[in-house]
Amino acid sequence: MTKAHRRVAILSPIAWRTPPRQYGAWETVASNIAEGLVSRGWDVTLFATRDSVTRADLHAIVDKGYEEDSSVDPKVAEYLHISEVFEHAAEFDLIHSHYDFMALTYSRLVRTPVLTTIHGFSSPQIMPVYEKYRDGYFVSVSDSDRAPKLNYLATVYNGIDLALYPMQPSPGQALVFLGRIHPDKGVHLAIAVARLSGLPLIIAGILQDEKYFQERVEPFLDGDIRYIGPVDVEGKNKLFSNALALLHLNTIPERFGLVLAEANAAGVPVIAMDLGSCREVICDGQTGFLVNTLNEAVHAIKRIPTIDRVACRARVQRLFTTETMVEAYEHVYGKIFELEATKQR
């Protein structure tokens, strides 16, 4: 059986469009997988919002993402969207879910195998669902973000579309932060490091925690420390063109950290807290620095000139592109088809 005869359903989240206009890491990755599979000859149906953009067949139940349209009830939309793919299960050889724990609860009601990429465990309270369905097929997005006892087939690193993030010719003058404005992402730590270093800081990203912004970010904004709001791909590239380094001083373990790869792709070194997957995405001393304290971060900034910007992009090209990711998923799909064939014997 050739790839073209293998029918894969990609179940994307519906918080945002696939791919998202600005923020939306899970939708970004689902999009990259869908488009990558199409390029490689698979028969792909993308289950996503109706305004999604794809070369796969689009199957939509919800017009817009619930984060982009307040008339959409998230609970109603999720139940309708997730059940839809399972009602069409017989049309597919594989359902590849990016929809967290909820999709698992439909998986035993269909014969089609279900692969779940776990983009993160959003809370300890969802673990009972993974425990119940632990004999399913799972992929982790980093070695560090794994739960014990699940049936992981592989770690597949997230991949980005390199063409979207061209190499920036020369270093900029500012430190940059790119991510959700949320305590988990350590915006306040980036501000502290910028002040200690006497360097300007440009902060970009969606405002997720209003109170945190008002208390820990806004009071420090001035000519040197600026918040420019959420950015699209063009905005990210502009940000990277101004960047001396990306500060990613996360306060909880990172699950993957798509933004680290995006910055590196543009040749921008990354200073990241050594928590979770950061040490898998960033090679300490080669594509940035892993730190444990504010002082280490300040010290790392002084060493930024020692980082070879071309090497940053080269590592992304080797490990974190859509192509690498899709090849890895093809391998995982192949394993599942083999295992399923064995079952049916």
343 exposure class (CB count in 10 Å sphere: 0-12, 13-18, 19+): exposed
Nearer to its own copies, 90 or 163 (CB): 90
Name the minimum Å distance from CB 146 to its own copies.
Answer: 20
Nearer to its own copies, 126 or 319 (CB): 126
Question: In angstroms, what CA-CA distances link 46 with 8, 57, 95, 160?
Answer: 9, 6, 10, 18
Name the minimum Å distance from CB 125 to its own copies.
Answer: 4
d(CA 244, CA 108): 50
Q: Where are the beta strands (DSSP E) in 86-163?
A: 94-97, 114-118, 137-140, 152-155
d(CA 180, CA 123): 18
Nearer to its own copies, 79 or 220 (CB): 79
Name the minimum Å distance from CB 90 to its own copies.
Answer: 11
Structure tokens that stand for 265 in this block: 């792709």
Name the minimum Å distance from CB 112 to its own copies.
Answer: 11
Nearer to its own copies, 2 or 125 (CB): 125
End-to-end CA distance of the chain: 17
Name the minimum Å distance from CB 131 to its own copies.
Answer: 10
Nearer to its own copies, 28 or 112 (CB): 112
Name the minimum Å distance from CB 88 to its own copies.
Answer: 10
Name the minimum Å distance from CB 69 to its own copies.
Answer: 12
d(CA 44, CA 55): 9
Nearer to its own copies, 87 or 215 (CB): 87
Question: In angstroms, what CA-CA distances link 98 with 95, 139, 259?
Answer: 10, 10, 19
d(CA 116, CA 282): 25
Name the minimum Å distance from CB 129 to its own copies.
Answer: 6
**Contacts for 160 with CB less than 8 Å, ≥ 6 apart:** 28, 32, 258, 261, 262, 265, 316, 320, 321, 322
Instruction: Give the number of other Cβ atoms within 10 Å of residue 219's Cβ.
Output: 10
Interface residues toward its own copies, by CB under 8 A? 73, 75-76, 79-80, 82-83, 86-87, 101-102, 105-106, 108-110, 123, 125-126, 128-129, 132
Q: Nearest-CA neighbor of 217 among 196, 199, 198, 202?
A: 202
Nearer to its own copies, 86 or 320 (CB): 86
Q: How many CA atoms lie within 13 A of 59 on its CB side?
A: 22
Residue 275 DSSP class? S
Nearer to its own copies, 5 or 132 (CB): 132
